A = this chain, B = another copy of it.
Amino acid sequence: MSRISESTVRRLSHYYRVLEEVAAEGQRMISSHLLAEREGITSAQVRKDLSYFGSFGRRGLGYNVEHLRAEIRGILGLDRRWRIGVVGAGHIGSAMLAYRGFGNQGFDVVAVFDASGERIGTTLGHLEVRDIATLSPKDALDMGVIATPVRAAQDVADALVAAGVRGILNFAPRKLRVPPEVALRTVDMTMEFESLSFALSQARAPRRRRGDGE
């Protein structure tokens, strides 16, 4: 769908956050060094990332905060609002509804669905939980969140795609099949723990055979 790697997009998100902070402080220019201020990002990487988008800092002056912020906002698709439907009114679904930060970036959770008769009709956040069977293209959802048990995840993905959703955030620890035009991101908590257990194991056994895989 795009030749820009997932890690580049994450770095853009990071730069955007830094730009928002410094804009709020009234700063007009920012150096690649300050934009890089995070473990694993070098200022050379920042300059490389931004040059892809045609943005070049000026030696000794850095980047114009407002200009760069508007540019990244456009690249990340944050210059419009996105309609999001959450499927699964359990713990994760409730967390999504409770978090107020999404709206600030243009992500509006406009519908929540479940398959359980006990949950349908109850209120979550400011929304009434609807029967997943009522999800349709009329909901005009851009993105869907799958926060259901694993066994339901593929059916829910199919229903979201049938309703015209083109981006899915999946919390179920299962590989889902979606058409190539649908973007899929998975948050796998076990994988996060594995990333930590890897780091802790390496720290304790620093002589272990290893290499740089990128």
Contacts and interface: CB of A to CB of B under 8 A. Distances in A.
B167 A183 contact: no
Contacts of A152: none
Interface residues of A, number: 78
A181 to B, nearest CB: 7
Nearest to A51: B211
Given A102-B189, A213-B48, A214-B8, A196 B3 contact: no
Interface of A: 1-13, 16, 38-40, 48-49, 52-54, 74-78, 82, 84, 90-92, 94-96, 98-99, 101-102, 105-107, 142-143, 166-169, 173, 175, 181, 183-185, 187-203, 208-214
16 contacts: A1-B203, A4-B211, A4-B213, A8-B214, A10-B195, A13-B194, A54-B209, A77-B194, A77-B197, A91-B92, A91-B94, A91-B98, A105-B194, A169-B192, A183-B195, A187-B189
Can you list the 5 inter-chain pairs with the closest CB atoms, starting with the nearest?
A8-B213, A77-B201, A91-B95, A77-B197, A52-B211
Given A166-B200, A169-B196, 8 more contacts: A8-B214, A10-B195, A91-B98, A92-B95, A102-B193, A167-B200, A183-B203, A185-B192
